[in-house]
A = this chain, B = another copy of it.
Amino acid sequence: MITGELLIGGSTRRGSDGEIWGIEAASGRRLEPSFGGAALEDLEQACLIADQAFDTFRRTSPEERAMLLEKIGSNILDLGDELIDRCVAETGLPRIRIEGERSRTVGQLQLFASVVREGAFLDVRIDKAMPSRKPQPRADLRLTNIGVGPVGVFGASNFPLAFSVAGGDTASALAAGCPVIVKAHSAHPGTSELVGRAVQSAVRACELPEGTFSLIFDSKRAVSQALVANPRIKAIGFTGSRGAGVAFMQIAARRPEPIPVYAEMSSINPVILFPSALAARGAEIGSQLVAALTLGAGQFCTNPGLILAVNSEGYDSFVTAAREAISATTAATMLTPAIHKAYRSGVDQLVSHQSVTTVARGRAGGENQAQAGIFETTAGAFLSHRELQDEVFGAATLIVRCDDAKELREVVEHLEGQLTIALHIDQGDYMFARELTPLLERKAGRLIVNGFGTGVEVSHAMVHGGPFPATSDVRTTSVGSLAIERFLRPVCYQAFPPELLPCAVSDANAWGVPQRTDPGT
């Protein structure tokens, strides 16, 4: 049952600072009940108990922590249709997508449970003492990772389950041993409360300290900013707009004790069509592009928003096929009126831009529905109009027509950091692709051959990250098992007696974690 209350540790209370309503995306109607916005005291209380929970929670065994993650997953599944129905209503996304996203979210929790049980994330290193080494003896040194401290997580609008209350940031932070305070996205407050209660009850069932998890709603920016600024918070996970991400980065950098902000922000995910591939199957790529572009109303951070191609054989067939395919697409409901408004404004800017031609638009729709669009410009115009790199969140893409390979390379050099870059290539393109790859590696966290960035696998080798402004921290990923490293820090124990050593670094190794041992002499 949805009550509209904040979840502060094990307790619930009605927030007193304003009201937020879930909105049925398809109709624009308010959904019952209203949610009370957190006051600063509510946030302070959540941070206080998170800090109090930290030492106990971070010292749980891998098995205990894995069981928490699995219990969260099974509690989410137990919510059944109540969760799916509410989530479909709040987001306007199709039921099958939400069901898929639920599987992904539960799978993600299970992946982190397996990562925790495996124990390699602790990076345990033992350098044994060398008491007779000359000129200086070596003391016994043992290193293990521990959690950085309580983490603030901001749910994303476009993944109401997988990047939200119990999504990748929360799962990886809990896996690392960090208590989590989630600020729910106002686009899906009911979904957030349901999942939040699933987490809260898992914390209780696992007999963990209540401060391990809290969920707040806010009606104003002040509470979100205070979460980033709170001295008890030691890292932030965020997925959202460039503006909000950069604002949080700046707040974090100006704190008396600066903290890392992991913000996944803005990416237009260039797709490069190489000459041989274009000549061999331009039309095919054109229709594949439209399928990728319009999936989920284009509301993915990996949506293909930029197409680079040399105006050579196959180019016209590509454009023609893309034009035909996009013209046949129906309008799709967007997540929120605000996102729809931002999409329209971005598209309007392309439509009215002096150097941009409209290739084609999808069919028009009703309230809150987005009309897809394909636009075209030249490399020269792209290079001289910085604003053409701005992300338009939704099913719009810009084709940049290049005169030759040199000009295409120049456009790539000019690009900001990206989450993904896709290469459409055939064997005849391998030499050019090999030549371009070092540059592409500098520009993006993931390179894809003959596909698109959408469909982010949750696995060990995934990188969902990239240079600024794609993310705030190029050293990290927010999807996949490597995401846990964002919330860890190493601690070294020198010359500790066995009785005082943490379990992970002890010779007894009751947890059975991997230990890299330098035997000394």
Pair A461/B417 contact, Cβ less than 8 Å: no
Determine whether the beta carbon of B468 is less than 8 Å from that of A258: yes
Cβ–Cβ contact B518 & A459, under 8 A: yes
Segment of A139-147, A310-318, A404-412 in the binding face: A139-147
Residues of B within 8 A of A136 (CB): 455
Contact status of A249 and B258, CB under 8 A, knowing A446-B491, A457-B138: yes
Assess whether A467 is in contact with B500, with CB atoms less than 8 Å apart: no
> Cβ of A442 < 8 Å from any Cβ of B?
yes
**Nearest Cβ in chain B — how far from A430, in angstroms?**
6
Does A385 lie at the interface of the complex (its beta carbon under 8 Å from any beta carbon of B)? no
Q: Does A437 contact B (CB under 8 A)?
A: yes
Indicate if the CB atoms of B257 and A497 lie closer than 8 Å: no
B497 touches A430 (CB 8 A): yes
Closest residue of B by beta carbon distance from A444: B491
Task: Mark A425-437 against chain B: 1 for CB-CB distance below 8 A, else 0.
Answer: 0000010011001
Are A126 and B494 in touch, CB under 8 angstroms?
no
B126, B139, B447, B488: the one contacting A451 at CB < 8 Å is B139
* CB atoms of B143 and A494 under 8 A apart: no
Structural contact, B489 and A474, CB atoms closer than 8 A: yes
Q: How close is A166's CB to chain B, nearest CB, in angstroms? A: 21
Closest CB of chain B to A515's CB: distance in Å? 10
Judge whether B490 and A482 touch: CB under 8 Å.
Answer: yes
A residues 15-59 near B (Cβ < 8 Å) are 55, 59
Given contacts A249-B258, A450-B495, contact A141 B472 (CB under 8 A): no
The number of chain A residues touching the other chain, given as a range, is 35 or more
Contact A438 B55 (CB under 8 A): yes
Contact present for B138 and A459 (CB under 8 Å): yes
How many copies altogether? 2
Rounded to whole Å, the gap between the CB of A199 and the closest CB of chain B is 24
On whether the beta carbons of B491 and A141 are closer than 8 Å, the reply is no
A177-201 vs B, CB cutoff 8 Å, 1 = contact: the mask equals 0000000000000000000000000
Q: Which residues of B contact A444 (CB under 8 A)?
A: 491
Known contacts A441-B146, A449-B495; decide if A459 and B127 are in contact (CB<8 Å). yes
Q: Are B482 and A448 in contact (CB under 8 A)?
A: no
- In the complex the two chains form, is A463's CB within 8 Å of B490's CB? yes
A509 interface contact, C-beta 8 A? no
- Tell me the smallest distance from the CB of A151 to a CB of chain B, in Å: 13
A267 at the interface (CB under 8 A from B): no
Across the interface, which residues of B come within 8 angstroms of A9, CB to CB? none
Interface contacts beyond A253-B258, A258-B472: sample of 18 additional A-B pairs, CB < 8 Å, sorted by A: A125-B460, A126-B461, A127-B460, A136-B455, A138-B457, A143-B461, A143-B463, A430-B499, A433-B500, A434-B499, A445-B490, A446-B491, A446-B494, A447-B491, A450-B495, A451-B494, A463-B490, A476-B490
Enumerate 8 A-B pairs (CB-CB under 8 Å) in ascending A order: A136-B455, A138-B459, A139-B457, A146-B441, A445-B490, A445-B492, A450-B495, A465-B489
What are the nearest 9 A-B pairs in CB distance?
A463-B492, A253-B253, A141-B461, A125-B461, A143-B461, A55-B438, A446-B492, A448-B494, A127-B461
